[in-house]
Structure 1
Amino acid sequence: MSSYRVSIIVKLTFLGHLKDIIGVKFLDIQISSKVKLGEFLRLALGMYPSLNRLLNNEGHITGEEVLVLINGIDINVFEDPYSELYIENSDEITFIPITHGGLTLLLG
Structure 2
Amino acid sequence: MGPGATTSVAPGTGGAIGTGYSNTQTIATFSGYCSSSAAGAALASSFGGYTDWFLPAQNELNELDNNGPKKVSGYYWTSSQTGPTEADSGYLGGGDCCDAKGTKSTSVNVWAMRAF
Q: Same fold judged by TM-score > 0.5?
A: no
Under a length normalisation based on structure 2, what TM-score does the superposition of the two structures give?
0.31
Q: Which has the larger radius of gyration?
A: 1
